[in-house]
Chains A and B, each alone.
Chain A
Amino acid sequence: MTQKIQLNINGFPVDVKPGTTILEAASKVNVTIPTLCYHKDLCVAGNCRVCVVEVAGQKRLSAACATPCEDGMDILTNSLKVRNSRKHIIELLLSEHNADCTKCYKNGKCELQLLASEYKIMTQDFIELLPWKDYTIDMISPSIIKDDSKCIRCQRCVRTCAELQGVNALTVAYKGDKMKISTFFEKPMNDVVCTNCGQCVNRCPTGALVEKNYVEEVWDAISDPGKHVVVQTAPAVRVGLGEDLGFDPGTRVTGKMVAALKRLGFDSVMDTDFSADLTIMEEGTELLTRLKKALKDKDPDVKLPMATSCSPGWIKYIEHMYPEYLGNLSTCKSPQQMFGALVKTYYAKARNLDPSKIVSVSIMPCTAKKFEAARSEMHDSGYRDVDYVLTTRELSIMIKQAGIDFMSLPDMEFDRLMGESTGAAVIFGVTGGVMEAALRTAYELVTGRPVPFENLNITAVRGMTGVKEASIKIENPLKEWKFLDGVELRCAIAHGLINAKTVMDAVKAGKANFHFLEVMACPGGCLGGGGQPIPTNAEIRDKRAKAIYEEDAWKPIRKSHENPEVQKIYKDFLGEPLSEVSHHLLHTKYTSRQRF
């Protein structure tokens, strides 16, 4: 039954399906209604009231985001009553907002500023409330800065933390004039259950939640002639960066990104994809070792399912929420940290550099990577393995500051030694990617044959479903893997921590029977990371995912174990996966944390 509702918006007739909101209907007749608390990824709150519209015959205005269309409605989105009210609401928000815009990190990217500009709010008639307010800027976390003076109480962050992540680190406290977004007992973000995923940062309309930026520190390092500055770029950055620099979502800008980094003055531009391939070698071997212990040696202590450990948001989440399952995590460091440990050892040695003079920078789609790099255990090279982590957004800031005309840059190639990568590494940036990459290698390792899928595309693990399950049957394995003959290798994939919760609760309840679990903290995987360009929504994430799979398809080598630089590093430096050197540099341990 496709019942239609007919209504008029600003005099234009429009047909919609039942349940359509006024906001959605308006977009069908080319009318944009301003919003602040509304976000496509989140449930409707209807609390900022900026989107109010006039419904003929009603004295009160209605919030367009929260009001379903009714047959025969006559809606005005720009009547005098609406305009005056909307202006009042913007003025009210400005009166409790720290409107020192030129000194704000979000200057030019703030949704409230944009609205104030659209409505030409030139004077502040209402009395400024901020001097009466009690606020502190929370700058203790290495990842996220929370500045309550810029908060407009839209609760997008609260909904993000609850609905998408299931973390609830951010919540509403107090009421009335004292109502604020806070944490458990108002502790700093660094001391609570916050996973540093930065999804709140991605959705905050103002500068109340932003990443801690290290742009100046990196410029200083680049300008220091005594330093050798090495940069690595994560797989998802190349499909997001363009959005901040003039390209449409879903544009692959790998070559331009490399060219821009070289122009910024980095001494060596290499690729986290290299260490993603390395991760597959280590993690794949670890998985097979665990399977062997469980299935052949019948070791009751072996922990299955084994879970991936690439996503630092996921790591911190499991440390807080399911510390009894830390043994299930792969001991592999994330690709960023593997790369960092190798830069100051393997790379330094090969290039004959003093590791103390090397500054290791990473460009990540992620805010949690900043925290990860700052973890005390991440010093296995003898130095801090990764000195500075910049988000995709921070890189775009540097590119703009340097005056680089990004759109017309010629493509360039990554530097060698740790710059070669495969299609398997590229797909680390999308949910299901690590799983797919691991299966491509593990299956071949065990059977001597490539995975039995057309063009190596394991479509069962792809897509944006919150929890995906897949299995692959191992037949005719090589002699040393005979115990796997006929074994159905079962996998689960979750992205967004709320989905990780679903899976972990199933594991806890004994209802999960899979061997391998991939979890990415952010919706869509790293391509939807908290450090990626703003805005984000399902449509944008789909486009980025498409771009990542394109990049994979275009790569001449698409299996991690075939990466020549990976083969070289095992030959020259590491020996073999899970070797002693590997253990020292590429593996780590985890910490149990409190649940608040």
Chain B
Amino acid sequence: MAESYHLLKRADFIFRNENDWEDILTKTIKRTPQDIINELISSELKGRGGAGFPTGLKWKITAEAKSAEKYVICNADEGEPGTFKDREILSRVPYKVLTAMAVCANIIGSKKGIIYLRGEYHSLKEALEKTISEFEYYCKKIKLDFTVEVFMGSGAYICGEETALFESLEGHRGEPRNKPPYPTIKGYMDKPTVINNVETLAHTFTIFKYGAKKFYDLGVQFSRGTKLFSVSGDTPKPGIYELELGMSLQDFVNEFGDGDTKAVQVGGASGFLVPRKKFQETAIGYQGKLTGISLPTGGSMMIYNSSRSMFNVLDNYLEFFREESCGQCTPCRVGCQQLLIGIKAVKRGERPAQYLDKLLKLSETMQITAKCGLGQSVANSFASIVENFREEMIY
């Protein structure tokens, strides 16, 4: 128990301006793939996009996949409401991400990297491409055959889902694919693909430079290292903070709240709402939870104080999902609409309060039957808000 919880600790790795990426790249690609993969695995770095898949394992499986053509893709389609960390990484330390992509490519046997950049981030494109050309120039110098292309998304939330992202990249409508097969075996262009979130790649740079132990020693069991949190809402100091994983939500609120925090939406619109009474028992990490939920997904932390109506909060999330579901699968497409008009009907008294229970059951079905990870999580906010603030839904 001692290890699964600690006080809020700030860290400074991601945005530390390191001027030695050329050295790190040159040194790292000289190491054996096995060596690097082992280091990543022992760091216990997990994907920072939300799903939390072990990064080292992902690279390992892709490296072992047999194919003449493979890809490294950086998922920069940062679309989760309340998340804005990847934008900062790409504008302040893009070379860390590029270094990580090049190392990954070298390990798995890929020559081509793609950054899938959120459509709304078009202002980053020019500077990013300039950095890429400098980076590619250096790669050429050290005889590393690797190029990176920036691909602009078109604004659909669903394209942050990795297989929908591939579809979009291939010029198709952004709709998630069936899994298996997973991207490590059949990804972009049906070739083995490593697809990592921007932040995940930036963390690997830290690990290449400082070693796995340094990273592993931060955080708690099952949730090692640091994580960027995008803090917004009713807070006197909104912004991006790098924190060690494993703190309790109470500590977080003590640091960032305005003294009147009613609830925190952890993990964006597809995450969970944690009410004040559960702050103490909720730890922020992948698994090392005290009780209740804790997945930080993209690291979005939206803080609500007592002036906020939880009905309006939920209404807002559901409006978002009604529009941003790709519309492909029944539970997500129709489920989101039913949840939204359902809470409105209860609020207006057109349906009895018990209708919320029917909708809660529906939200369970959505969680277990939707086709993709996003479809499975769209009902999270509904379930956690209705369970904790039922009276606000009715009256």
Contacts and interface: CB of A to CB of B under 8 A. Distances in A.
Interface stretch (A58-66, A222-230, A540-548): A58-66
A61 B342 contact: no
Interface stretch (A90-98, A213-221, A524-532): A90-98
Contacts of B323: 175-178
Contacts of B321: 176
Interface in A268-296: none
Contact of B326 (A50, A89, A175): A175
Nearest to A50: B330
Interface in B318-360: 321-331, 333-338, 341-342, 345, 351, 358
A129 B178 contact: no
Nearest to B328: A47
A219 B182 CA distance: 57
Nearest to B342: A127
Nearest to A152: B330
Interface residues of A, number: 39
B151 to A, nearest CB: 19
A515 interface: no
A47 B371 CA distance: 7
B330 A92 contact: yes
Given A63-B178, A66-B178, A92-B335, A47 B330 contact: yes
Interface stretch (A80-88, A242-250, A429-437): A80-88
B368 interface: yes
A313 interface: no
B328 A179 contact: yes
B369 interface: yes
Grouping DSSP codes into helix (H, G, I), strand (E, B) and loop, the A interface class, with mixed when no group exceeds half, is loop
A155 B327 CA distance: 11
A126 B326 contact: no
Interface string A39-78: 0000011111110100000011101001110000000000
A177 B333 contact: yes
Contact of B368 (A44, A47, A59, A129): A59
A89 B327 contact: no
A193 B73 CA distance: 36
Interface string A137-177: 00000000000000011010000000000000000101111
A49 B371 contact: yes
B331 A92 contact: yes
A81 B368 contact: yes
Contacts of B325: 175-177, 179
Nearest to A174: B327
B370 interface: yes
B171 interface: no
A61 B369 contact: yes
B368 A153 contact: no
B367 A89 contact: no
Nearest to B324: A176
A89 to B, nearest CB: 5
A125 interface: yes
B334 A129 contact: yes
Given A84-B361, A153-B328, A49 B370 contact: yes
A127 B345 contact: yes
Nearest to A155: B328
Q: Which of B329, B341, B369 has the most CB of A within 10 A?
A: B369
B394 interface: no
B180 A179 contact: no
B365 interface: yes
A158 to B, nearest CB: 10
B139 interface: no
B362 interface: yes
A123 to B, nearest CB: 11
A60 B327 contact: no
B173 A88 contact: no
B345 A88 contact: no
A234 B178 CA distance: 42
B330 A48 contact: yes
Contacts of B297: none
Q: Which of A63, A95, A174, A177 has the most CB of B within 10 A?
A: A177
A68 B181 CA distance: 9
Contact of A88 (B175, B362, B371, B376): B362
Interface in B364-395: 365, 367-371, 376
Given A175-B158, A176-B323, A126 B338 contact: yes
Which of B173, B338, B365: most chain A CB closer than 10 A? B365
Given A49-B331, A66-B178, A92 B338 contact: yes
A45 B325 CA distance: 16
A125 B358 contact: yes
A174 B342 CA distance: 23
Contacts of B175: 172
B330 A129 contact: no
B313 interface: no
A63 B372 CA distance: 11
A36 B275 CA distance: 40
Interface in B81-115: none
B178 to A, nearest CB: 4
A46 B324 contact: no
Contacts of B178: 44, 46, 63, 66-67
B156 interface: yes
Given A88-B362, A89-B365, A89-B369, A176 B336 contact: yes
Contact of A52 (B328, B358, B369): B369
B331 A127 contact: no
A84 B361 CA distance: 9
A63 B345 CA distance: 32
Contacts of A126: 338, 342, 362
A125 B359 CA distance: 10
9 contacts: A47-B328, A52-B368, A60-B376, A63-B178, A92-B334, A155-B328, A172-B173, A175-B325, A176-B321
Interface of A: 44-50, 52, 59-61, 63, 66-68, 81, 84-85, 88-89, 92-93, 95-96, 125-127, 129, 132, 152-153, 155, 172, 174-179
